[in-house]
Amino acid sequence: MRDVVVIGAGMTKFGELWDKSIKDIFVEASLKAIKDSGVDHIDSIYVGAMSSGLFVGQEHLGAILADYLGMNPVPATRVESACASGGAAFRQAYLEVASGASEIVLAGGVEKMNDGADVTEVLATAADQEYEVYQGITFPGLYAMIAKAHMHQYGTTREQLAAVAVKNHRNGSKNKNAQFGFEVTPEQVMKSTMVSDPLRLLDCSPVTDGGAAVIVASMDVAKKLNKNFVRVIASAQASDTIALHSRESFTTLNSVVKAAEKAYRMAGIKPTDLNLCEVHDCFTIAEIVVSEDLGFFEKGKGGEAVLNGLTSIESGKIPINTSGGLKSKGHPVGATGIAQIIELFEQLNGKAGGRQVKNARIGMAQNMGGSGASSVIHILEVK
């Protein structure tokens, strides 16, 4: 397997992009990434998108986006793994370059969620239709059960959940592409509208339109272009049962645990070697559980760690979701995994502005689908 690097990145602002189509959004992000990288051609394209057919009625997405980007006859493939579609698309690009099949691959992600579809119904397709959705459960309800179990088992508090939202909005207020780039207080979080007890509106990631893209290349290409790059030192993926009731525990996401084990082994590092991590905080409880399953904190101590500032940019322990996370930056489900890679690319190159982590050398991105039935993890490094 060859060394694989990221040499360029681009993304749109996340939010309600009423005046842009899914094609417009993808092309905007992709052209930014191509310009940033300085490449003069693309060998292959992967597009992460969860539900373009249900959101905007458009399937055959790879071909239409390659056409709209002016890249025919370059092969283009859509990749779907629910909310982990972006991370899975990046993994396919990584594997194609690592294998030697291509030198330069565009890995993108896009979702247009605000065109009139029933978003709750569309997102529910990532849950078990026969055993969960048929009974009326939604993703806020599924994560509320995870939160209730975590509170019961470990004493996690409502204040600790709120601390996740407060931290991520503080980070997001420094991100020009964030959908909700403003700060919130613990009181605002805990008094926001109840969605599914104990989760309130400000515990939940928003409905978002947006696109993100990166250029993945061989080390030889990066050296020829004399570009700043970050090296991909691990790529791992794992699966779990879709239905919560089929799992041994509601408070451990086994796909995260197993993917992390593979990633750490491949990179030859430990959790303590990481300088920052972007995790899939679709709900505040998700960040807490994932931070434990990645080995940053003892099981049951993730909420306490956030409340004590151990995951803040200034903490020196393990800054989590410096971009603002899904919670503040937004969550266009197909684009999220790529946007996480972009945050690492900017941080490791020292270009994250007011949210820059000092001396950042190694970062992780953890992207997952549904309630953790799939999880994709990448570790990036700059020398």
Q: Does the structure show a pLDDT above 80 at 278? A: yes
Which whole-number Å values give the CA distances from 176 to 109, 225, 280, 355, 363, in the listed order?
19, 28, 20, 11, 21
Question: What is the band of 315 on the pLDDT scale with cuts at 50, 70, 90?
Answer: confident
Arithmetic mean of pLDDT over the chain: 97
Confidence of residue 155 (pLDDT cuts 50, 70, 90): very high
The residues annotated as belonging to the active site are 83, 331
Residues 35-77: tens digit of each pLDDT:
999 999 999 999 999 999 999 999 999 999 999 999 999 999 9
pLDDT in tens, 241-277: 999 999 999 999 999 999 999 999 999 999 999 999 9
**Cβ–Cβ < 8 Å for 86, 212:** yes
pLDDT digits (tens, 9 = 90+) for 195-218: 999 999 999 999 999 999 999 999
Q: What's the CA gap between 30 and 324, in Å, rounded?
A: 22
Give the pLDDT confidence score for residue 316 in this predicted structure. 75
Q: Give 328-344 pLDDT, tens digit per residue.
A: 999 999 999 999 999 99
Complete domains list, the chain, with CATH: 4-118+207-230 (3.40.47.10), 134-204+233-381 (3.40.47.10)
Q: If pLDDT is split at 50, 70 and 90, which confidence band does 228 have?
A: confident
Task: Tell me: pLDDT of 226 over 90.
Answer: no
Instruction: Read off the tokens for 200.
Output: 């309130």
